[in-house]
Structure 1
Amino acid sequence: MNASAIIQRTLFRGASTLLVGAAAVTLPLIPSALAQQKTIKVDGSSTVYPIAEVAASGFQKANSSIKVTVGISGTGGGFKKFCAGELDISNASRPILKKEMDACKNKGIKYIELPIAFDGIAVVVHPQNNWAKDLTVAELKKIWEPGSKVKNWSQVRKGFPNVPIKLFGPGPDSGTFDYFTEAVNGKAKASRTDYTPSEDDNVLVQGVAGDRGSLGYFGKSYLEANKSRIKPVAIVSPSGSAVLPSDQTVQNGTYQPLSRPLFIYIRVDAAKRPEVKQFVSYFINNGAAITKKAKYTALPGASYPKILANFNKGKAGTVFNGQNDIGATIAEVLDREGVD
């Protein structure tokens, strides 16, 4: 055999020797810390994404040997991957549904459900919209119900101008879509389809900001981060008051029916891995600070140690029986989870 065609690689601690013909070149190996790096896979809700991203960033600064990847597939898309065993943690902007519970059961996937924050679904318009300062749930239904023929603001309420409506909202894999449609239209996933959908809330922000007649909805943290580009519409509550989404109105339960809990779901077998346990512990121990940094509504401070205790006990399953609990307050959700 021609010597110049012979390639021999000899490995030894800290380096690699590559012999090509008569020439030997010593190459450094990948650092052992990188070679041993462990990965935690997180995916799911675009609403929960900013919270999980803040948690992952802070955790990795103190734990460089552990990589946390956070994706945005929507709540439904995340559960599809989670129940197939592809994820360690699934972010969710609604409780796990019955069909997802069944999918996990069929694959032998057990999970721990942890509430991490609360959110208000913000209904938003273009800054130049000076007429829709508030909307009733009935008017939202008129706009968003299946088969809706509303194409113009003048069709929504007498006195509104003759301006075409351009609609933006989450896609069908989104937990925000599920919650909004059930709260407004009475059934999850029941919605008109002639609107611009996206699982990425930043795309929805851009859409609403680009058209004077636009209307959209998504988690309020994206409103908080884009107040110069879009503005919120107050929702007329069951009591008759027009209420804007804020930490205060979400916490005190007056922003109804568009306040909802946010969750992470951890695979029971993944929770046994030291790096996953370490990350979840960091997430919950710093839950209030992480949530506030991500511009969401934190749970009461005393609840986080109890949530962590449920995780450490390996308390598996869901307390929601495969259904959304529309209009549930923070206190009601925590009581149901056993962390009141």
Structure 2
Amino acid sequence: MTRNESAVSTRRKFLTGVGAAGAAALAGCQSTGDDGGSDDGLSGTIDIAGSSTVFPLATAMSEEFLAEHGGVDFNMQSTGSGGGFANHFCPGNTDFNNASRPIREQEEQQCADNDVEPVELTVATDALTVIVNNDLGIDSITVDELATIWSAEEQPEQWSDVNSDWPDEPLELYGPSDASGTYDYFIESVLHSGDEEVGHRQDYSGTEQDRTIIQGVEGSQYAMGYMGYAYYSTNKDRVKALAIDDGDGEPVEPSLETARSGEYTPLARPLFTYPAKSSLSEEHIAEFARFWLENSTSEEIVAEDVGYVPLSEEDQQEQLDKLESAIEDAQN
């Protein structure tokens, strides 16, 4: 479907101003008129929780869906991947959980204990982005330096403790809370010593509101934070992204292109949504899951509007086949 420029502008303002500030309710009954949803008989409520990183993509897809199916209501919460699984999805209170890392074994067990069967669907690729203040005279960082800064074991207090060429000034750190899949992925991809993971330091400002990370880093010359690429991409004038050197001496800047090509290592990562198989027995929920995957290759929605890498057609078909099998099981 074709969308006008004002819709794109409105969504970008939403991502910039709201970020992952909490919850969004999108009511189909509000989508009327020439630009609103059609009354095609499809109706019901869809409850979604989980990742703040996937939140803007889920919001974009729900807005697109409402333009075609005006009788559907959405209740969305940005709770963090782990918070969504533990407090909403696995107890059976939501239809989808968005996640910026795969579901864990203990979460699968919690779901099973409540007769919830998650269906893992990959929906995009993200370039996890490390940001600093615009006035900090640092443009790149090695993975080892990044690990040192955020390590619970080392916990350097000043920039110069990590690299003698850096300022003799205190580190001020902002990042996602431990309920976030971004937090989990950062530990898995950066905080390790050989094959062993190292703990994430806790003396930092942790939040599930990405706009708070942006505000904190913007407001302090010696601050650092990390988040999903989509939130950075709508705030490029406010903070600076560091290029990442994965050990070869050639720092790579985060971008859709470097995430797509595989150059941006180790911080390019898949993003997921998990519908509950039982929820897929309801036609409006099954249709939304199909709609999301059918639009997962869209450069306009996924890349231009939100700021993630769309699926390839091959990956899209693999996810659609998995979804259709789950829908068939649920509805028969």
Task: Place the TM-score, normalised by the shorter chain, in its bin.
Answer: 0.7 to 0.9
Equivalences for residues 57-136 of structure 1 within 5 A: 57-80=63-86, 81-130=88-137, 132-136=138-142
Deviation at 1:303, TM superposition (A): 2.6
Q: In 1, Cα distance between the equivalents of 2:106 and 2:51?
A: 17
- 1:289-308 Cα distance to aligned partner (Å, 9 max, x none): 23122111112134323311
Say if 1:258 and 1:84 are closer, same or farther in 2 by CA, change over 3 A: same
Residue 50 (structure 2) aligned to one of 35, 39, 44: 44
Q: Identify the residue that residue 309 of structure 1 maps to in structure 2.
A: 321
**Aligned partner of residue 128 in structure 1, secondary structure:** coil
Q: Identify the residue that residue 35 of structure 2 maps to in structure 1.
A: none
Identity %: 33
Q: In 2, Cα distance between the equivalents of 1:305 and 1:38?
A: 27
Q: In 1, Cα distance between the equivalents of 2:327 and 2:160?
A: 52
Residue 170 (structure 2) aligned to one of 164, 170, 192: 164
- 1:139-189 Cα distance to aligned partner (Å, 9 max, x none): 111111114331211112011112221100100000000000121112678
Equivalences for residues 1-340 of structure 1 within 5 A: 38-80=44-86, 81-130=88-137, 132-186=138-192, 190-289=199-298, 290-292=301-303, 293-314=305-326
Q: In 2, Cα distance between the equivalents of 1:79 and 1:199?
A: 15
**Aligned partner of residue 321 in structure 2, secondary structure:** helix
**Aligned partner of residue 313 in structure 2, secondary structure:** coil
Deviation at 1:315, TM superposition (A): 8.3
Amino acid at match of 2:259: V
Q: In 1, Cα distance between the equivalents of 2:83 and 2:174?
A: 19
**Aligned partner of residue 154 in structure 1, secondary structure:** helix
Q: In 2, Cα distance between the equivalents of 1:299 and 1:268?
A: 22
**Aligned partner of residue 242 in structure 1, secondary structure:** coil
Deviation at 1:256, TM superposition (A): 0.9
Q: In 2, Cα distance between the equivalents of 1:213 and 1:47?
A: 25
Q: In 2, Cα distance between the equivalents of 1:96 and 1:265?
A: 9
Structure 1 unmatched ranges of 5 or more: 1-29, 317-340
Q: In 1, Cα distance between the equivalents of 2:260 and 2:54?
A: 17
- Which entry has the higher C-alpha Rg, 1 or 2? 1
Amino acid at match of 2:146: L
Q: In 2, Cα distance between the equivalents of 1:189 and 1:91?
A: 26
Say if 1:158 and 1:315 are closer, same or farther in 2 by CA, change over 3 A: farther
**Aligned partner of residue 167 in structure 1, secondary structure:** strand
CA contact (8 A) 2:141 2:243 kept: yes
Tell me how many residue pairs correspond in the alignment.
283
Amino acid at match of 2:296: G
Q: Identify the residue that residue 15 of structure 1 maps to in structure 2.
A: none
Deviation at 1:252, TM superposition (A): 1.3
TM-score by length of 1: 0.79
RMSD: 2.0
CA contact (8 A) 1:172 1:189 kept: no
Q: In 2, Cα distance between the equivalents of 1:94 and 1:46?
A: 12
Q: Which moved more, 1:42-51 or 1:186-195?
A: 186-195
Q: In 2, Cα distance between the equivalents of 1:149 and 1:49?
A: 31
Q: In 1, Cα distance between the equivalents of 2:155 and 2:184?
A: 21
- 1:291-339 Cα distance to aligned partner (Å, 9 max, x none): 12211111213432331121011189xxxxxxxxxxxxxxxxxxxxxxx
TM-score by length of 2: 0.81
Q: In 2, Cα distance between the equivalents of 1:166 and 1:120?
A: 22
Q: In 1, Cα distance between the equivalents of 2:53 and 2:197?
A: 17
Q: In 1, Cα distance between the equivalents of 2:254 and 2:217?
A: 17
Structure 2 unmatched ranges of 5 or more: 1-28, 30-38
